[in-house]
Structure 1
Amino acid sequence: MPLNRSINYSILELAVVGQDIPHTRVFENSVELAQLAESLGYKRFWLAEHHNMVSIASSATTVLMSHIASKTDKIRIGSGGIMLPNHSPLIVAEQFGTLGSLYPHRIDMGLGRAPGTDQVTAHAIRSDRMNSVFKFPQEIEEIQRYFKNENTNTKVRATVAEGVEVPMYVLGSSTDSAHVAAAKGLPYVFASHFAPAQLFEAMEIYYREFEPSEYLQKPYSIAGINVVAADSHQEAERISTSSLKMMLGVMTGNLDYLQKPVDMTPELREIKENPSLQRMLKYSFVGDKNSVKEMTEEFLKKTGVDEVIVASHIYHQEDRLKSIRIFSEIMQEINQPELVNY
C-alpha cells in the first residue's frame, strides 16, 4: 500500500575502487551513475569524504563534486559529507561558495564531524582536529557567517561565498548531531546505512527539539540505506557478496579493493549472519524488486523520514546501473501519483 506522503530519493557515492579497476574508470563510472540518476528522478548525488582507503576514491570531495556537476544538468550535487574537523571553515566556505556560483541552486553542503579515516591519518590531515571536533557547532556558525552578505565589514571574508545559496545539512551517526541540527534549524542526515543503532533515538530528538530558522521552517530528515536490487533474489545475493566482503574488511581492519562477486557460499552466509555484521547491515536491502520495495516501504513507515539516500557497493557497473533503475521504479511506485520537491 502506498505511503500517504511522497519521499525524495537520492544517491550517496563513495567512488568505490574495485579490484583491477583504475581510478580513471572509477570516476567515469561515477559520472555515468550520476547522469543516469538524474534521468531517473533522483534528487541528489552526494559524494562522501574518506581518506587512506584503497577501496574509496572520494577523498578530494569538492573536486569530484565539481567534475560531476559539470557533466550533469539539474540533479543536486553535494557532500555526504565534508568532515569539518579535517578542514578550515574559511576554506570550506570558499570552496562551496565557488561551487555555488559555478552551478547555481544545485550544490548541497553536508557537514559531519567524524574523521572519515583512521586516527593516524586524521592526525596527518590536521594535527589539531580534536579541537575542531569539540567546536563543531561553532564552526558551522562560522561557515554560515561567511555566506552572509552582512559579513562585508569583517577582517576575514570568504568573498566568493557571500550571498551565494548553498543549503547546509548536518550529518551524523549518533544522537549528538541530532541536537546540533535541531538547535540550528538545519536538515538532518543520519548514517543508518552503516551505523543504524541510534537512528530512532536521534530522529526523535531532532523532531522534538527542532527550532525553526532562517534556513528551514520545519524539520527535514534524510536516512541512509544500502540497496542491491536485481532481477532475482539469487542474483542480488550474488552481487551483494562484494559489499559483504568489503564490510567485513571494515570491521576487521583488513581493507582491500572491492572484490568481484561470487556465488553465496556457506562460509559467506555464516559471515553474513555474524551479529556485529548484522547490526551494521540492518538497513541493507538485497533482493528482487518486490522484496526491496517491501523492505523500503517498511523502513519509510517506521522512520518517518522525508528522504532516503542510497549507497550501493556493487562491483560491475552494469549491475549498479540496473540496481538504481530498479530502485527508481520502486520509489516512483511508492510515491504515486507524484513526487514532491524540496
Structure 2
Amino acid sequence: MPQNKHIDYSVLELAVVGQDIPHNKVFENSVELARTAEDLGYKRFWLAEHHNMVSIASSATTVLISHIASKTNKIRVGSGGIMLPNHSPLIVAEQFGTLGSLYPGRIDMGLGRAPGTDQVTAHAIRSDRMNSVFKFPHEIEEIQGYFNNQLPSKKVRATVAEGVSVPIFVLGSSTDSAHVAAEKGLPYVFASHFAPAQLFQAMEIYYREFQPSKYLDEPYSIAGINVIAADTTEEAERISTSSLKMMLGVMTGNLDYLQRPEEMTPELRQIRENPALQRMLKYAFVGDREKVKNQTIDFLRETGVDEIIVASHIYHQEDRIKSFRIFADIMKELNGST
C-alpha cells in the first residue's frame, strides 16, 4: 500500500548500554548500526544527548557524531538532539561548524530545551541553565547568526561556522517548541517515541503558525516511534522485555543497564498494561512485519508527518539490526519501491 507522498525514515540512537556490555562495544555497535542504516536507505542517524544515566552512552554527543560520520559515507549524521540550555551557543556553533566542514552536506543540528537528565545533574552541567531555557528562541538565533555572519567587524565570531551549511531542527515534547519552530520557519521534530501526549496539538500549532523562511518554504515535520520487529510477534514481545524494563526504570527513577530479554511473563504483561506506561509507549510498535507495517500505516495516516525517526532499545545487536532491516523493508514497500 504505497503512500501518497514519499516518507523518509531515520534512526535515533542513544548508544544504549546493555548489562555486561562495555562502552567500547556499545560504540562499535552504533557504528555497525549506522553503516547498516546507510545501506538500508535510512536518511539520518541522530544521536541524543543524555547525562548521568548508566544505560545511555551518547552524552558526548558531538564526539559520537564525528565518529559515526567518519565511519559512514552518505547518511546524514546529527543530534536528536543537543540540549541547548546545557551549552553556550558559541560553542555549539563552533562544534557544528567544524563538523559541517569535516563532513560537508551530511551534518544536522537538532536543538532541544530539555536538560536530558535530572535537575541536579542539569545544575552541575550549567548552573544558570534555567535562564537559558527561557532564552531558547534567542539562542537559536545566536547560533544562526554565527553561521551566517561573515563580517570581520563583529567582536565575537565562530569563524569555523561562517558560511557552513548545517540545517537546524527544533525538537520538542510539548507544544512550546512548536511555536518556536513555526515562527522561525524551521523543521520540527516531536518526541512522540516517549512523550506522545501533545503530538497532535503540537503539530497543529506548527502547521497553522508556520512562517516561510530562507531555510524552508513549507513546514517539515518528523515524529519519533519505537520499533521492535522480528520474524514473529511472539519473538518481538520477548525481545521487547528489555525495553519494557528500561522504560519502567525511567518512570520509577530506578535506572539500570538494559537487561537481557526474557520470556513475556504474566507479571511483565501486567506491567505493560500500566496506564502511565501505556501512555508513554503509545507509539511503540512491537510485532512481526505485518503488525508493525499496519501500525506504521495508521501512524502516518493519523499524523501526516513527512518523516519518521525510529528508536529501538534492544539488547542483542543481531536482533536490533534485524529489526531495523524489517522496518526498512516496510518503508520501502509503503513508498512503492519494494
| Fold shared per TM-score above 0.5 | yes
* Separation in 2, partners of 1:249, 1:2: 38
CA distance in 1, matches of 2:112, 2:152: 27
Paired residue for 2:197?
197
CA contact (8 A) 1:145 1:151 kept: no
* Secondary structure of residue in 1 paired with 2:152: helix
Report the AA paired with residue 237 of structure 2.
E
For 2:275, the aligned partner's letter is P
Match of residue 4 from structure 1: 4
Rounded to whole Å, the distance in 2 between the matches of 1:49 and 1:260 is 24
Q: Which whole-Å CA distance do the structure 1 matches of 2:252 and 2:68 have between them?
A: 33
Separation in structure 2 between the aligned mates of residue 2 and residue 111 of structure 1, nearest angstrom: 32
Map 1:290-309 → 2, pairs under 5 A: 290-309=290-309
Tell whether the 8 Å contact from 1:190 to 1:222 is kept in structure 2 after alignment: yes
Q: Does 1:179 align with 2:216?
A: no
AA matched with 1:187: P
1:3 is displaced (CA, Å) by 1.5
Write out aligned runs for 1:279-318 (5 A).
279-318=279-318
Letter in 1 for 2:58: S
Q: 2:70 is matched with which residue?
A: 70
After TM superposition, the structure 1 = structure 2 runs for residues 209-288 of structure 1, keeping only pairs within 5 Å, are 209-288=209-288
Where does residue 118 of structure 2 map in the other structure?
Answer: 118
Q: CA RMSD in A?
A: 0.7
1:53-132 maps to which residues of 2 (within 5 A)? Answer: 53-132=53-132
Alignment correspondent of 2:326:
326
Gaps of 5+ in 2: none
Task: Indicate the residue corresponding to 1:154 in structure 2.
Answer: 154
Residue type of the alignment partner of 1:65: I
Task: Check the 8 A contact 1:100/1:165 in 2, yes or no.
Answer: yes
Q: Cα distance, 1:120 vs. partner?
A: 0.1
Task: Give the distance between the partners of 2:133 and 2:152, measured in 1 at CA.
Answer: 28
Partner AA of 2:153 in structure 1: N
Q: Distance in 1 between matches of 2:14 and 2:3?
A: 30
Structure 2 residue 129 is the aligned partner of structure 1 residue 139: no
**Residues 151, 162 of structure 1: 8 Å contact kept:** no
Alignment of 1:17-32 (within 5 A): 17-32=17-32
- Say whether the 8 Å CA contact 1:230–1:326 is kept in structure 2: yes
Q: How far is 1:272 from its partner?
A: 0.0
1:308 is paired with a residue whose SS is: strand
Please say if residues 237 and 287 of structure 1, whose CA atoms lie closer than 8 Å, have aligned partners that are also in contact.
Answer: yes
* 1:39-78 residue CA offsets vs partner (Å, 9 max, x unmatched): 0000000000000000000000000000000000000000
What SS class does the counterpart of residue 277 from structure 1 fall into? helix
CA distance in 2, matches of 1:175, 1:161: 30
Deviations 1:245-279 (A, max 9, x none): 00000000000000000000000000000000000
Q: After TM superposition, give the deviation of residue 243 of structure 1 in Å.
A: 0.2
AA of the residue aligned to 2:104: P
SS at match of 2:132: helix
Gaps of 5+ in 1: none
Amino acid at match of 1:28: E
Residue-by-residue CA offset, 1:202-237 (whole Å, 9 max, x unaligned): 000000000000111100000000000000000000
How many residue pairs align between the two structures?
338
**What's the CA shift string for 1:67-119, capped at 9, x where partnerless?**
00000000000000000000000000000000000000000000000000000
Give 2:135's aligned amino acid.
K
Match of 1:41 in 2: 41
| In structure 2, distance between residues paired with 1:337 and 1:100 | 31
TM-score by length of 2: 0.99
Q: Note the C-alpha offset of 1:151.
A: 4.2
Separation in 2, partners of 1:156, 1:141: 14
Runs of 4+ in structure 1 deviating by more than 4 angstroms, as ranges, are none
Which amino acid letter does the alignment assign opposite residue 181 of structure 2?
A
Q: Deviations over 1:295-336 (max 9, x none)?
A: 001000100000000000000000000000000000000001
